């Protein structure tokens, strides 16, 4: 069912692309088209890239072979950092949900400034120099399998209630940037005591894919997870899931796109940035249950709007997270061991 849904979405996006690119008058100037190869490192889940983005981009950038490399945000980030240290990075473009990474990369002069014409139509703030640009938002929420849990938590602190002992799972912040942001923001709000109490209440730190599967089966009836994962499970797997937007606020994490200054194909990379910010690229985000950032694009089915999330979210201090990332990961691992 999932593949059929994604295939239908890809067809819709292709039709929309043709409708948009097929218009235009004779006054338009001829444009030099990029060629060659282009490598993208991204944390956007593989199914969305393979079945939705890839076929449409292949039509949009006909003369560019785009190589998609997908992994968790932390894995992508570490790969790029390690490669740049050895001056051998294959990546042209990076797309992950880790604002502190982009801040560090910009500070170190590793990103190519590019202000896409499409960025003028975004509903969110962009980097003044164009070093990186938002293309999506994800929200960290609480997911509840209603086949297993009837009395649902309403706040982040409710997860400390003994009645939920041994029933909660979350991703590893050493692997998932959204989990890292959640640890950082709840630590700022409640202190490390919160995580010590959650550990005592039997929280399980799990690989993301395993956590999703066990949530669907009811083995992990409560998870700290991304809103988009719950929405996808409800549609594709008919999981009896409920999204809890905690009363204190969800944790809203932007996903950015940036071009490495060492990119071998900067012109192709710019065209890819343009595509993700276009109506087609933003529609792909929405249809994959992530929040688009462009005016006029429908929100994901079944979700709160980005505006609602923005006015009721816990603020992440990204500069502080950039400075304290290593210590946060180490302290969390120490508590959970």
Are the C-beta atoms of 228 and 138 separated by less than 8 Å? yes
CA geometry: angle at 104 spanning 106 and 99, to 5°? 95
The structural domain count of the chain equals 2
Whether residue 270 sits in one domain with residue 176: no
Q: Are 136 and 169 in contact (CB under 8 A)?
A: no
| pTM of the entire predicted model | 0.87
Residues 317 and 221 in one domain: yes
Give the tens place of pLDDT for each residue, 289-326. 999 999 999 999 999 999 999 999 999 999 999 999 99
Residue 118 maps to a domain: yes
* Contacts of 55 by beta carbon, 8 Å cutoff, 6+ apart: 10, 14
Tens of pLDDT along 110-126?
A: 999 999 999 988 988 89
Residue 84 lies in a domain: yes
5 CB burial (10 A radius; 0-12, 13-18, 19+): middle
CB 185 within 8 A of CB 246: no
* φ, ψ at 138 (rounded to 5°): -120, 150
The boundaries of the domain holding residue 238 are 138-251+309-336
- pLDDT value of residue 303: 94
Distance CA 87, CA 109 (A): 14
Do 246 and 260 lie in a common domain? Answer: no
Across residues 50-62, what is the average pLDDT? Answer: 87
Q: What are phi and psi of 204, to 5 degrees?
A: -110, 130
Same domain for 173 and 264, yes or no, is: no
119 with 204, same domain: the answer is no
Q: Is residue 213 part of a domain?
A: yes
| The pLDDT of residue 35 | 82
Q: Answer whether residue 68 is part of any domain.
A: yes
Q: pLDDT per residue over 163-202, tens digit each?
A: 999 999 999 999 999 999 999 999 999 999 999 999 999 9
User: DSSP letters along 293-307, please?
Assistant: -BTTPPPPTTSPPHH
Predicted confidence (pLDDT) per residue in 4-55, tens digit: 445 544 444 544 443 333 344 344 445 667 788 999 999 988 888 888 888 8
In-domain check, residue 330: yes
Sign of CA dihedral 57, 123, 98, 114: positive
Rg (CA), the chain: 20
Closest CA to 226 of 292, 265, 181: 181
Is the same domain home to 241 and 265?
no
- Alpha carbons 139 and 249: distance in angstroms, whole number: 10
Does residue 128 sit in the same domain as residue 14? yes
* 225 and 322 belong to one structural domain: yes
Does residue 322 share a domain with residue 216? yes
Residue 26 lies in a domain: no
Q: Nearest-CA neighbor of 61 among 84, 76, 40?
A: 40
Do residues 15 and 99 both lie within one domain?
yes
Beta strands, E only, the chain: 36-42, 64-70, 93-96, 111-112, 133-145, 168-171, 204-206, 222-226, 241-244, 250-260, 313-314
11 & 101 share domain: yes
> In terms of domains, do 99 and 51 share one?
yes
The label of the residue with tokens 């502080």 reads 320
Dist. CA 76–CA 90, nearest whole Å: 12
Q: What is the rounded distance in angstroms from the CA atom of residue 196 to the CA atom of residue 176?
A: 20
Taking residue 59's Cβ as centre, other Cβ atoms within 10 Å add up to 14
Q: Domain holding 266: CATH number? A: 3.40.190.10
Residue 320 counted as domain residue: yes
Q: Let me know if residue 293 belongs to a domain.
A: yes
């Amino acid at each position: 069912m999932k593949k059929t849904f994604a295939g239908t979405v890809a067809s819709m996006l292709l039709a929309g692309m043709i409708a948009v690119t097929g218009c235009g008058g004779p006054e338009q100037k001829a444009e030099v088209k990029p060629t060659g190869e282009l490598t993208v490192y991204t944390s956007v889940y593989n199914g969305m890239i393979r079945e939705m983005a890839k076929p449409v981009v292949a039509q949009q950038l006909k003369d560019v072979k785009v190589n998609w490399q997908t992994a968790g945000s932390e894995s992508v980030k570490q790969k790029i950092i390690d490669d740049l240290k050895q001056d051998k990075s294959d990546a042209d473009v990076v797309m992950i949900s880790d604002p502190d990474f982009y801040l560090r990369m910009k500070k170190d002069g590793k990103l190519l400034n590019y202000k896409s014409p499409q960025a003028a139509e975004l509903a969110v703030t962009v980097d003044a120099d164009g070093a990186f640009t938002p293309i999506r938002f994800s929200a960290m929420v609480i997911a509840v399998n209603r086949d297993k849990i009837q009395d649902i938590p309403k706040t982040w602190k409710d997860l400390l209630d003994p009645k939920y002992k041994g029933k909660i799972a979350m991703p590893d912040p050493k692997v998932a940037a959204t989990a890292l942001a959640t640890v950082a923001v709840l630590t700022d709000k409640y202190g490390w005591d919160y995580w010590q109490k959650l550990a005592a209440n039997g929280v399980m730190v799990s690989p993301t894919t395993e956590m999703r599967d066990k949530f669907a089966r009811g083995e992990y009836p409560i998870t700290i997870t991304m809103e988009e994962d719950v929405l996808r499970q409800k549609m594709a797997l008919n999981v009896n899931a409920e999204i809890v937007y905690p009363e204190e606020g969800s944790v809203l994490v932007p996903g950015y796109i940036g071009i490495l200054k060492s990119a071998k194909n900067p012109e192709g990379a710019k065209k890819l940035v343009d595509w993700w910010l276009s109506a087609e690229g933003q529609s792909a985000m929405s249809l994959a249950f992530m929040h688009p950032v462009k005016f006029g694009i429908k929100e994901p089915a079944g979700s709160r709007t980005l505006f609602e999330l923005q006015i009721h979210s816990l603020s992440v201090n990204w500069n502080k997270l950039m400075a304290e990332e290593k210590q946060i990961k180490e302290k969390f691992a120490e508590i959970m061991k």
